[in-house]
Chain A
Amino acid sequence: MNNTLAIARKELRSYFASPMGFVITGLFALLFGWFFYAYLSYFVRSSEQMMMGGGTPNVNQHMIAGLLQNAAVIILFVMPMITMRTYSEEKRSGTIELLLTSPVSDVEIILGKFFGAMGLYAAMLGVTLLYVAILFFLGNPEWKPVAAGYLGLLLMGGCFISVGLLVSSLTKNQIVAGISTFAVFLFLWVINWIGESAGPTGRQIVSYISITEHFDDFARGVIDTKHLVYYLSFITFGLFLTAKSVDSERWRG
């Protein structure tokens, strides 16, 4: 436990020791802000029309849900930058030799790296909460669906991080790790579209596999155990494969 914490702290510190952490956080905030602005102006226009037609516009349904879904796409692009160096850099610089000869288990190392990346990711999401706060200031959206949405983002990001760790553990080269991670994410994302052209059973299977598909309910403010279980098992499985990869690397030498 202490070891995991020490490693997570070290990871988190290393993100912010270089401009990396700030650049990623800034980039994410910028993109999120752009979508926020686009959705807000769209929402303002459409709610005027809606009110003329006698309907009641709902910020949660008509704005936040869409915004969070777009945030998911930004994460897809930004996350490889967070995870690419986790293992690759340790392998390249030889610091992995320190970790693997310390009285620390592989699982503790992996969890440390996982929570370190989660820490940075949570900080990034934290920054976007400032935008959402504007909505609370201007109108009165319900907070529960927003919280559900952020929980979903956190879990979905966790899945991406576990995949990123796995890919990073496979190579010494962080650029290769970054690009491969991005390719895998992209695959997990576009798999929806492939599913849509497939038959009904095919579509069901694909939508079950797809990471982003499971996020839709969260974005709408619904916490379904089905999706919770999916995300948590996905993360566990990703970390498990990372552990296997680290162990087999050790045998190969």
Chain B
Amino acid sequence: MIEVQHLTKRYGRVTAVDDVSFRVERGEILGFLGPNGAGKTTTMRILTGYMPASDGRAMVAGLDIFDKPIEAKRRIGYLPEAPPLYPDMTVREYVDFVARIKGVPSKERKDRVDTVMKRTHVADMADRHCAKLSKGYKQRVGLAQALIHNPDVLILDEPTAGLDPKQIIETRDLIRSLAGDHTIILSTHILPEVSQTCQRVVIINQGRVVAVDTPENLIARLKGAETMFVQVDAGGADVLPVLGAIPGVLGIVASDQRGVVGGFEVESERGTDIRRQLARTIVDRGWGLLELRPMRMSLEEVFLQVTTEERPDEPTNPAETITPAMVEPVPGVDSHE
């Protein structure tokens, strides 16, 4: 549905986007991830026909955005980084105006405007001037604007920026419900957002693609091994050699000790699930098994590692040059700015 080939954009001497290629299949949600200044907005602006690329091609819904801009734009809904609102229009007037210039037939227009305002939860502000909306409402009106002509492709630049937690969840749900009928690219700094909403992730750094994969694969690929965290009440007995003897265990580290209760990080070969073995061993000894959980490397670590990677010219297999850090996921934490 969307195909980007060797896209390059130079602003004078600054190369904002450097030979970026990726595809998005129909009905898919693609997450566009990268630190500040990575080139996400620039790529999206090229895809939406706001500005031409210095090099390369972008096809949207089978149409080259540069050769057939009007036809292609008809199929794209775009939420720019800053919602493009006219301060002196009311929300309804604004959405109606956008419906007109996006070519919504006049017979359907009123219905579409109402439907979209309801769907993005701005109907209660319909007669408020855009200038007087809160940041979150502005963002939602921006989303309404992008959806008004029911486009095949949605390009959303940080759609949840500035929303409250409840709204973030509602917006993510909305975006997920739009997938299938719509093909979606969204950019974000919020990593859990990507694992929750996107089927695939493109990580870009300094204008280059450093990784493309599903969120799960990205996490898995960067891990050489699986790690379990176990908390055991061994009543003072020595736990390390016992657990270390379990087949498949590569290493074991005592991570925190509080009296008789000890926490251990048990590293095992990938693909072997040692949880049953671990549990049985501990219980058989008569120890108390207080906690047993897999330690996942969060997408945040993946992101940090991939984007601080020193050799971005090897995007296909960054795993080899990266030592995974074993840290727990930190849900809901914002970007690393």
> Closest 4 interchain pairs by CB?
A17-B88, A6-B100, A98-B84, A103-B73
B145 on the interface (CB 8 Å rule)?
Answer: yes
Bound-state CA distance A13–B101 (Å) is: 16
Task: Decide: A101 and B88 in contact? CB cutoff 8 A.
Answer: no
Q: Which residues of chain B are within 8 angstroms of A253 by Cβ–Cβ distance?
A: 9, 11, 42, 45, 51
Task: Decide: A251 and B52 in contact? CB cutoff 8 A.
Answer: yes
Task: Decide: B100 and A2 in contact? CB cutoff 8 A.
Answer: yes
B50 on the interface (CB 8 Å rule)?
Answer: yes
Write the chain B residue with the least CB distance to A98.
B84
B34 on the interface (CB 8 Å rule)?
Answer: no
B80 on the interface (CB 8 Å rule)?
Answer: yes
Task: Decide: A105 and B70 in contact? CB cutoff 8 A.
Answer: yes
A–B Cβ pairs within 8 angstroms, 6 of them: A6-B101, A10-B97, A14-B89, A17-B89, A95-B85, A95-B86
Query: Provided the pairs A17-B89, A93-B87, A253-B11 are in contact, do residues A98 and B51 lie with their beta carbons within 8 angstroms?
Result: no
B56 on the interface (CB 8 Å rule)?
Answer: no
Q: Which residues of chain A are within 8 angstroms of B145 by Cβ–Cβ distance?
A: 98
Tell me which of B11, B73, B86 contacts A102 (CB under 8 A).
B73
Bound-state CA distance A74–B66 (Å) is: 44
Tell me which of B52, B78, B84 contacts A250 (CB under 8 A).
B52
Task: Decide: B80 and A97 in contact? CB cutoff 8 A.
Answer: yes
Write the chain B residue with the least CB distance to A6.
B100
Q: Among B42, B89, B93, B101, find the residue whose CB has the most chain A CB atoms closer than 10 A.
A: B101
Tell me which of A9, A96, A101 contacts B48 (CB under 8 A).
A101
Tell me which of A10, A13, A94, A102 contacts B82 (CB under 8 A).
A94
B161 on the interface (CB 8 Å rule)?
Answer: no
Residues on A lying within 8 angstroms of B by beta carbon are 2-3, 6-7, 9-10, 13-14, 17-18, 93-105, 250-251, 253
Task: Decide: B86 and A104 in contact? CB cutoff 8 A.
Answer: no
Q: Which residues of chain A are within 8 angstroms of B73 by Cβ–Cβ distance?
A: 101-103
Q: Count residues on chain B whose CB falls below 8 Å from chain A CBs.
A: 31
CB distance from A108 to the nearest CB of B (A): 9
B76 on the interface (CB 8 Å rule)?
Answer: yes
Write the chain A residue with the least CB distance to B82.
A94
Task: Decide: B89 and A102 in contact? CB cutoff 8 A.
Answer: no
Q: Which of B66-83 contact A (CB under 8 A)?
A: 70-71, 73-74, 76, 78, 80, 82
Tell me which of A7, A94, A95, A103 contacts B74 (CB under 8 A).
A103
B223 on the interface (CB 8 Å rule)?
Answer: no
Q: Which residues of chain B are within 8 angstroms of A103 by Cβ–Cβ distance?
A: 70-71, 73-74, 101-103
Q: Which of B1-20 contact A (CB under 8 A)?
A: 9, 11
Task: Decide: B102 and A97 in contact? CB cutoff 8 A.
Answer: no
Write the chain A residue with the least CB distance to B86.
A95
Task: Decide: A101 and B101 in contact? CB cutoff 8 A.
Answer: no
Q: Among B52, B82, B102, find the residue whose CB has the most chain A CB atoms closer than 10 A.
A: B102
CB distance from B28 to the nearest CB of A (A): 21
Tell me which of A7, A93, A96, A97 contacts B101 (CB under 8 A).
A7
Q: Among A7, A14, A93, A103, find the residue whose CB has the most chain B CB atoms closer than 10 A.
A: A103
